Amino acid sequence: MSTGRFAPASNPIDMAFDLAFIGTILIHGRELFLLLGTTLVLLLHGIILRGERFPADRFGDACHAHVDRYSPRF
């Protein structure tokens, strides 16, 4: 079990951005926000996947710890 700042979820800021995008879509209900929000969520997901590969490529298995990508386990 990993400990430290990112032990519950490794991307809390990115998850907050995703929730803000979803909230904007729900509040305004416009197709433009749906398109922009979906695009931004997919871009953030790609950035997260790239960020997860970097330490593994650089340091190997020494840095590997199981941390949930978006939501913490309860």
- Considering the entire predicted model, what is its pTM? 0.62
Is the pLDDT at 59 greater than 80? The verdict is no
Mean pLDDT of 5-9: 59
Question: Do the domain assignments include residue 73?
Answer: no
The DSSP element (H or E) to which 16 belongs, if any, is: helix 12-28
Question: Do the domain assignments include residue 56?
Answer: yes
Question: Do the domain assignments include residue 57?
Answer: yes
Per the prediction, the chain carries an average pLDDT of: 76
Residue 35: which domain range?
12-61
The DSSP element (H or E) to which 32 belongs, if any, is: helix 31-59
